[in-house]
Structure formats: structure tokens, C-alpha cells
Amino acid sequence: VRYYKDYIDSLSKFLKKIGVNINTVPVLDVLRNNTSKVIGSRSFSNDPKIVKKLGIICVRQYKKNKLGTVIKHIPGHGCSLEDSHFKTPKVYLKNEVLNKVDFLPFKGNSSKFAMTAHILYKQIDKKNVATLSKKIISKIIRNKIGFKGILISDDISMKALKYNLITNAKKSLSAGCNIVLYCAGNIKDSFKIIKEVP
């Protein structure tokens, strides 16, 4: 734990030096044997209690250094076999299992920001991935997990979302996201989103 804190302290100095005030960590997805490689070594562990503990330490240490954090991918990406950059991951696990494993690391974390998962949790919302699901954001993220901070969508240009960028942005906000993240870097699309999404 001490080495991890020292690492965060060192990285924080560098980030502040270059003008960065928020780091999009920690990844609180719980690793499984068949977890998509997109998560891979970004996960702390296959034990949800360890992931939770290290996540809390990470957020607190960044806070001490006056840097923000973004816990992700809420409510949990470790249960997914697919990479949401390229297709829509579908998870069929029951709510009880998700609550004990995947939701657990996010509970009680004091991060002011969280990033959503573009995952279809079929037992909770059959039609909408978490980012676009009022049900998941309201009942799971806000209520069961208890996250009260600023909710950021994962990148709306990822293939897991089936609509165009404008629709993806509008649906994310309508579902309960506070901020929409667009990372593809096309300046024309950026201006189009700014213009058409209130």
C-alpha cells in the first residue's frame, strides 16, 4: 500500500506540473478468468474486496494531492467478455451476483466523478446499455451503489452504442449522465454535438 501511495504522490506532482487536475482512475472492474482483455491488467484483482480497498486508497491519495478521480466503469465491466470499443457486451448474470461482486468496489467510494459502462445487463435492462439506461443509472448506480457525484458517459463514439453521435449524447443525458464524453477527436463532430445537444 505504501508503494502505491508513493506512486500516486509522484504521478500527482507530474500531472499538476503539466496542468492536469483529474485522472481517470481507478478502474474498479473485478477481474475474472474470461474478462475482456480491454480491462486486463487495469483491474486491481479478481477479489472485489481488494478492488474496493485499493480503489478507496487511490481516490483518497489523489484527493490529498488535490486531484480529482473518475471511478470506472460503473456499475462494473469485469463481468464482460467483449470489448465495448468494438461491440455491445451482454451480461446475463443476476442482480444478486452483480451486487456481491461487480457493484461492491464502487460502494462507499468518495470519488466525485464516475464513468459508465457501455454494457447491456440483460437481467436489469434488456434494451439499454448502462450509459443509456434510466433504470440502471437511477436504481443501481444512484440508489443501490449510492454514487452521488458527477456521472460521465464512456466515449459515445464506441461501437457498443448503436445510434449516431447526437442520439448517443442525447440518450446518455436523458438517462441521467451529467457529462457526455466524446473521444474520437473529429473536430466537425465535436462542433456538431455542441450545437445539437443542449
Asked about 77 being catalytic, the answer comes back as no
For residues 14 and 91, is the Cβ–Cβ distance under 8 A?
Answer: no
CA terminus-to-terminus distance, the chain: 44
Asked about 83 being catalytic, the answer comes back as no
Tell me the C-alpha distance between 52 and 66, whole Å: 21
The position carrying cell 449522465 is: 177
Q: Which of 85, 118, 125, 155 is catalytic?
A: 85
Q: Which of 29, 102, 154, 155 is catalytic?
A: 154
Element (H, E) at 68: strand 68-74
Tell me the C-alpha distance between 191 and 198, whole Å: 12
Tell me the C-alpha distance between 97 and 130, whole Å: 17
**Residues classed as catalytic:** 85, 154
